[in-house]
Structure 1
Amino acid sequence: MNPRPEGTLAERKRQLVASELTEAALQLLASKGFDAVTVDEIVATAGVSKRTFFRYFASKEDVVVQFLAGLGAAMRAELAARPAAEPVSEALRHAVWVGMAVCADRADHTGRALRVVQLILGTPALLARFLERQAQWRDDLAAELASRHGLDPGADLYPRMAAGMALTAFDAVLHQWSGSDGAQDPETLTKRAFAVIAPALDQVPGAGGRRPTD
Structure 2
Amino acid sequence: MTTLPAPSLAERKRRLVSDELTRAALGLFAEHGFDTVTVDEIAAATGMSKRTFFRYFASKEDVVVRFLAELGDGMRAELAARPAGESPSTALRHTVWAAVDACAGHSEQTLRVVRLILGTPALRARLLEHQSQWREELAAELADRLGVDAAAGLRPRMAAGMALTAFDVVLQCWSASGGTADPAALTDQAFTAIAPALDATPVNEAALDATSVRAAPR
> Which structure has more helix as a fraction of its residues?
2
Q: Which moved more, 1:55-64 or 1:167-176?
A: 55-64
Q: Which amino acid aligns with 1:60?
A: K
Aligned to 2:22: 22
Aligned to 1:53: 53
Q: TM-score, normalised by structure 2?
A: 0.88
Aligned to 1:129: 126
| CA shift for structure 1 position 33 | 0.6
Q: Which amino acid aligns with 2:95?
A: A
Q: Which amino acid aligns with 2:200?
A: Q
Unaligned runs of 5+ in 2: 212-218
Aligned to 1:85: 85
| CA shift for structure 1 position 183 | 1.0
Aligned to 1:196: 193
Q: Which amino acid aligns with 1:160?
A: R
Aligned Cα RMSD in Å?
1.7
Mapping 1:26-45, distance limit 5 Å = 26-45=26-45
| CA shift for structure 1 position 116 | 0.3
C-alpha offsets along residues 178-199 of structure 1, whole Å, 9 cap, x if unaligned? 0110111001000111111111
Is residue 69 of structure 1 aligned with residue 69 of structure 2? Answer: yes
Aligned to 1:181: 178
C-alpha offsets along residues 25-62 of structure 1, whole Å, 9 cap, x if unaligned? 11111000111111111111111111111111111111
| CA shift for structure 1 position 204 | 4.7
Is residue 101 of structure 1 aligned with residue 101 of structure 2? Answer: yes
Count of residue pairs the alignment pairs up:
203
Q: Which amino acid aligns with 2:60?
A: K
Is residue 114 of structure 1 aligned with residue 111 of structure 2? Answer: yes
Q: Secondary structure at 1:70's aligned position in 2?
A: helix
- For 2:67 and 2:133, the matched residues in 1 are separated by 16
- For 1:9 and 1:136, the matched residues in 2 are separated by 32
- For 2:20 and 2:84, the matched residues in 1 are separated by 40
- For 2:65 and 2:200, the matched residues in 1 are separated by 34
- For 2:110 and 2:59, the matched residues in 1 are separated by 20
Aligned to 2:8: 8
- For 1:10 and 1:83, the matched residues in 2 are separated by 36
Question: Once the two structures are aligned, what percentage of the paired residues are identical?
Answer: 65
